[in-house]
Structure 1
Amino acid sequence: MVHAPWWLWALVIVGLLVVIAVDLWIVDRGEPREFSMRQAGIWVGFYVSLAVLFGIGLTVWAGPGTGGEFFAGYLTEYSLSVDNLFIFYVIMTRFGVPRIYQHKVLLVGIVLALVMRGVFIAVGSAALDRFGWLLYAFGAFLIYTAYTLLRDHNKDEEFNENILLRWARRVFPTTSDYVGSRVTVRVDGRRMVTPMLIVMIAIGTTDLLFALDSIPAIFGLTKAAFIVFSANAFALMGLRQLYFLLGGLLQRLVYISYGLAFILGFIGVKLILEALHENDVPWAPQIPIWVSLAVICVTMAVTTLASLVKARRDEKAVTPAAGSPAAGSQAEAPQG
């Protein structure tokens, strides 16, 4: 376990704040506009490159074990974030957010989630140091989460408003329509909030709920709070650009939940075995971090490839081949 000095914490936090500021200045300055695929691709590549460089730096500084823990945690959080994008898409659709404002909503929500996760990580790290039995609880919870992912695989994604969101709707007077990108506006002398604020609360609080899965998962890979925080931060930072880059591809990743279920179940079992090993149970092995990293990489690669292959086959099955009877009947239909 790596114990990061205070200056390294400060360097990472300041660096993240600088990146957020640059992101805001470059992307959100001027008139609101849609996020292009090229722009999203450049930013996703930038954030992934930052994470890779950071992981290499950790490896050089603290050894391959620490670097492996970061990369395993980052890939796990990033994979879970892709699944979270399905819900973000549902929220955007539910609230009818204009596309030109969606990147601003995602940025504010992700920054809020980053702050709240930082608090959650600090509490979780302190609790694990004091109560070793929490490893069993985290492991059991991850195994149950894996089961729910498999159970709900074929169900339609839906968004259920949480307590905070219902409270905000009840307390704050809200305009019926969006007013540009503004979150508050004065109407007839009365200060009101716009749906923009409500959807930002929805994104931020929903991502915090996702932390109930992701934080225990990464604690199953490392107990170092610094690695847990940095892996979460890097995974979250490029999330809004990934949202626009994937676009319609989200609907094609049909097997992603199977992959995530397997990863969460694997980490849950790993946590329980580790707890047993720490309690001197002779048959309980310690699973090395390189095995965890390999399992995560292979699982996500296989499920992503299988999803794309299935999507392509489904498209071919729906689209009649040129010259086929179905294609001919479709072509003749307008003449009738």
Structure 2
Amino acid sequence: MAARQFRLPSYRLPVDGYVLLIVLCAATAAVIPARGIVAEGLDQGIKWVIALLFFLYGARLSPQAAWAGAKHWRLHLVVFAATFILFPLLGLALQPLVGAGLLSPQLYAGVILLCALPSTVQSSIAFTSIARGNVAAAICSASVSSLIGIIITPVVVGLILHNGGSGPLISLHDVEKIGLQLFVPFLAGQLSRPLTARWMERQRKLLGYVDRGSILLVVYSAFSEGMVSGMWHQIGLSDVAVLLLVNAALLGAMLGLTTLAARKLGFHKADEITIVFCGSKKSLAAGLPMATVLFPAGMVGLAVLPLMLFHQMQLMVCAAMARRYAKRPEEDTGRRPGNDAGKPGTAQAA
């Protein structure tokens, strides 16, 4: 009689591997921070790294893909309103936490940065596809969100922090710096597409390593500066606990409000999925380099902490939601009465 074989069940950690690498870089900076001439050289290198990142974003963003779903204007207006109006308003509503001593001004600045950032591109589209949502509309909304976020995010952050007394209003010098480090490289990338688009398409894996590696370098630099300046002595476990609660409240509120808005406005299920995933998520890839431009070097480490925690939380929650959406009956992808946005062919899943 053959012996019975037993296999232990395999489990996957519900943690994004890239987030683990980011945590590892932060831990390395805590033990071996960059100092002196090394830190100065790293600071100069980061400026070029950020320019390279936004050049790559511009070179890889196809204008045709960005505008493919532009006719679905009702959906896009809802997503953009959620991303750049509702989210910042929720962040502004959290300002009393600073007065109550629950959030430091530096961490609150990070929360505002989080609330003002554009939506993710890759994960928003991926979750929409898994959930059998309107992928074409997700591509358009997420891509255009990342584009206009280069302009809107710094303005929103500056206005809110100035009004709340937590930081200065963006000056002409700041606008010039943001333009040179973010918008000009992005525009150069767009203009280079006739020459670089095919090569970029062939080297997608290599370029993925480049931009992810660049972000890791930004994290190491930011956390090194925080260690050298002594800023990390200002944060404790209670601060992290408050941030986790704030992030959970923000994510829960946005998921609920985007779902409610999509249903009240008569969107069918596939469009609802796109609105929920594109309107409730924030881009870590855009937020980290933007933080180095918007905040003083010694403050960047604390300012990006809310975003890093939120990023992992949104991945875990949205992954579970996408799987749940995907289990719905096929007939749920149909149109709802009175909705002119759900025409055949606009809600096909990838």
TM-score normalized with structure 1 length: 0.30
Bigger Rg, structure 1 or 2? 1
TM-score normalized with structure 2 length: 0.29
